[in-house]
Structure 1
Amino acid sequence: MSVRDVAEYILRSRGEMTAMKLQKLVYYAQAWSLVWDERPLFDESIQAWANGPVCRSLYSAHHRQFSVVPGSILPAVAIPQLDDRARATIDAVMKFYGDKSAQWLSDLTHLEMPWRRARERAGVPDGAQCEEEITLADMHEYYSGLRANNPVV
């Protein structure tokens, strides 16, 4: 599975959305897959950019686009290569986060430890450019704690 498969699945499920929102939904899909399925959805890293988590390889697929439409990440005839567990995880993430705005999602990530810890490691202030990776270990640790406190998520 690749980040492009996850992103295209989200777009085909929800339709056109801003690039920023797509990036945040991909991030949350990765985070909750680590907790619920005990595995990453994709191998590509996620970085702690100024506006929240961003997967650079996905960014390169939608660079200079404000809105991203289904069929723009993978060709329209391609089927996202996801197994049943991955689709179920993404669907659950979409049910919880999917109706939130891009800004709301970005603001939420700024409050959460994985993004903050990556930026602290890089030694950058809020608003500054940063390419520090948000580690899978930090994501798993933080979101596992949320699950323990709120089993609905």
Structure 2
Amino acid sequence: MTMFDAKQIANWFLAKHKAMMIEDDAIDPMTQMKLHKLLYYAQGVYLAVSDDRLFSNDILHWDHGPVVEEVFQEYKGRKSIDDDITEHQLSDFRTVNSDEMVNSVLEAVYDKYAEYSGSQLRNMTHSERPWMETKHNEVIPVELIRDYFKSEVVE
């Protein structure tokens, strides 16, 4: 199993979302807030089903929910983050997609959570143990995420 970087997983979500927007113009653009919550849910589900991390980056407890700082810095100050998908993002999509288990987890997470807005996802994460049991600006422990997703999210 290859562990990915959160930016690669973010690029998977951005490319997937852009493709869905092209098919259905009622789908809203991806926001940074929504992307971070999808990364959190992807990490949680993957931890629950495999006991391994999907990506190596830490997830932090910020005011608006779980955030991966490296991805935040990449899109800082931008509201819409999926205007144009670059060749680099498509390359990351293909690389991530080539791992069957990772792809199936990401597809499941996207199918379950992409319909929600960033604000709705923020509110959902605020009611979940990993966020509630971690102090502001601290790393949300991987073990806490894994245990929560094993007991509460993944069936």
Would you call these one fold, judging by a TM-score over 0.5?
yes
1:25 aligns with: 38
CA shift at 1:75, angstroms?
2.4
1:42 aligns with: 55
Q: Given the alignment of the two structures, is residue 117 of structure 1 paired with residue 117 of structure 2, yes or no?
A: no
2:45–2:153 Cα contact (<8 Å) kept: no
Q: How far apart, in 2, do the equivalents of 1:57 and 1:100 lie?
A: 23
TM-score by length of 1: 0.84
CA shift at 1:78, angstroms?
2.6
2:100 aligns with: 84
CA shift at 1:77, angstroms?
5.4
Q: Given the alignment of the two structures, is residue 9 of structure 1 paired with residue 4 of structure 2, yes or no?
A: no
Q: Percent identity?
A: 26
What runs of 5+ residues in structure 2 fail to find an aligned partner?
19-28
Which is richer in helix?
2
CA shift at 1:36, angstroms?
1.3
2:79 aligns with: 66
Q: Which amino acid aligns with 2:131?
A: W
2:47–2:146 Cα contact (<8 Å) kept: yes
Q: How many residues align?
A: 138
TM-score by length of 2: 0.83
Q: How far apart, in 2, do the equivalents of 1:79 and 1:104 lie?
A: 27
2:131–2:140 Cα contact (<8 Å) kept: yes
What runs of 5+ residues in structure 1 fail to find an aligned partner?
120-129
Q: How far apart, in 2, do the equivalents of 1:145 and 1:76 lie?
A: 33
2:142 aligns with: 136
